[in-house]
Structure 1
Amino acid sequence: MTVRDIVLLGSTGSIGTQAIDIVRRNPDRFRVVGIGAGGGQVELLAGQALELGVEVVGVARASTAQDLQLAFYAEAARRGYAKGGFRIPKILAGPQAMTELAEWPCDVVLNGVVGSLGLAPTLAALASGRTLALANKESLVAGGPLVRAATQRPGQIVPVDSEHSALAQCLRSGAASEVRRLILTASGGAFRGRRREELAAVTVEEALKHPTWDMGPVVTINSATMVNKALEVIEAHELYGVPYDRIEVMVHPQSVIHSLVEFVDGSTMAQCSPPDMRLPIALALGWPDRVPGAASPVDWTLAHNWELRPLDNEAFPAVELAKRAGEAGRCRPAIFNAANEECVAAFTAGRLPFLGIVETVERVLAEAPDYDEPGTVEEVLTAETWARERARELVAAPEGAR
């Protein structure tokens, strides 16, 4: 079996560290040749680089390059290397570091960068002909048209999100012309089952209590508003070309059925596994082959009771709003995402009520300039900047004026 060379972007984050765990356990299948991160954890980054023996390391924050070099020496001393007994990899530093890494010679680029900073590396990896294991939502949400234009071959993008990985697996069961609907599942977040009137006074602390997943604050609040699932609907459309009116969301509290595909003959295929991101990460690195033992399977010696119910679009209107934004195109998905990030920050700071998050995003979308379909990263960033500024203005306005 040929060993695949991997570049990991966002190696110190959750996706990156789990990917490294998979590589550790499968040295006959994967070799990491480059890693990159923002620069906030240089000690961890240096440790990863020395353990993996990478050729190149990137930090997005140029000011941390010297700190990273010092961290290499400290980590080498901790590991007992003699002076000169180890090789320092090439260091890339600055805003273009992740993009340069995405162009580094390799078989697969795993993009686990957070935020719109992940779009340029995505485009660079695709233009370089690499297989892209994609965990960066913003690449498809904000830059969908750019990503479509840069993709050189079918299957060049392999999704890492559990829902989209599940769809990719289910779609193996039939031709594209045989697909009737995609069904994304959602845990329901902290407030599943609540009616809209019960959400008016919820607190930040309540919104951060996710019943299933341990995630960062922004993603956890996005789960509570269902914005996270709304963004995944846009991603599913961009990945698989299925119209928005044929993409549904079902609430599934157990988080074992990760998504489903309904075919024209009435068959529905589901991908099921205990919630563990190592499975979709391993599949993306090894695609189309599976990696044995990537994660634990469902225990079929036990009884299971898995619930699926329709999403309450009145209480959680974000999904329908995202569909309208996606259908409108012309940077509306990028505006949706950027405005939401500003509103989540305002909610966590106590400047916006919970229901005001999606309400403000809807207002920003309604006021958006008539942008063209984006042709460059700069055009996407321009729309995002406008959305952030307008969202901040609306949040700062008196409550009756929002």
Structure 2
Amino acid sequence: MNTRIAIIGAGPSGLLLGQLLRNAGIDNVIIERQTPDYVLGRIRAGVLEQGTVDLMREAGVSARMDREGLVHEGIDMIYGGTRVHVDLKRLSGGKTVLVYGQTEMTRDLMEARGIDGPDIVYAAEDVTLHDLESTQPYVTFRKDGVDVRLDCDYIAGCDGYHGVSRKSIPTARLQTFERTYPFGWLGLLADTPPVNHELIYAHHPRGFVLCSQRSATRSRYYLQVPLTEQVQNWSDDRFWDELGRRLPADIASALVTGPALEKSIAPLRSFVVEPIQHGRLFLLGDAAHIVPPTGAKGLNLAASDVNTLYRIMLGVYEQGRDDLVERYSAIALKRIWKAERFSWFMTSLLHEFPDSDAFSRRMQETDFRYFTESDAGLRTIAENYVGLPYAFPA
């Protein structure tokens, strides 16, 4: 097999990159080690930045998203019982975010690509990357017991933190930056109307709360819990009771409860590797970085990587700009670190840290007041939340 771009991973970043490249006439093949059902079974993020929405539209797969997605012009933040509305649209020059589940985004991209065909391979085994520092890299894998070789010009590693792409780079050439937080998020998905028309980010002495949503009839709630907590210890009733205790009384009284469709605990961590390219291999999404979900940046940061690599490949194949290839890591990392900073900031601002002393707690409270009591502070939150501008290679 031969192609121009081999894409490892059929999550949203791999599928989005593949769709954009295909629309531009740049051949690509996507290789995924899991089945389509497994990929669609992941329950993940649901807040899309303006840039991610624009990329979906550019890829020609936005019809259902535009029809069913919920435009949000603001978020609410609560600390010490004080509730502040962050007017995203006014403070960011007209930008908004769109609530549309990552699963639905993935489904749209999968349907556009097609599940069967020579340019996408699911349930691939023993995926291995070769000759990354040469001008002729290639990928080998096994499908239905048959060994396959895929020759290509470049490889896009979109296969997540545990994938083969980052592991194919010599360890000595990577610098790792990481922070593990001493808590996780217990999430519950339910077919109940959201408690508020905007998302609520709330600090409470018992722990952080996020009131989110997937649609007008489906809600997603999160509670901060210790890393030692087990999901089986949380009945639906216990979850709803604890959620109500951490919210102001007027909000808690409006909660509509119901059976959980899904319940899980996710640890929080920040992670970046540098550089995020090696020879003709580029890392995108969780293969290159992870952010705590407090800033709604995980999926959106992957889309930012897609945008950067896509623009570079357009330059390579349409203008002969091979010089752009070496710039991918530097361009992408600038925006990655800004998103990491915002996610760290929101996490530090709104969570209870078990080792926090009186001074740290007072500084956290003062930070909340500093950023929410002036337009300048609110604008900083809004501009980061809706997504900082993409950088375009020149």
TM-score over 0.5 for the alignment?
no
Normalised TM-score (structure 2):
0.29
Normalised TM-score (structure 1):
0.29
Greater per-residue strand proportion: 2
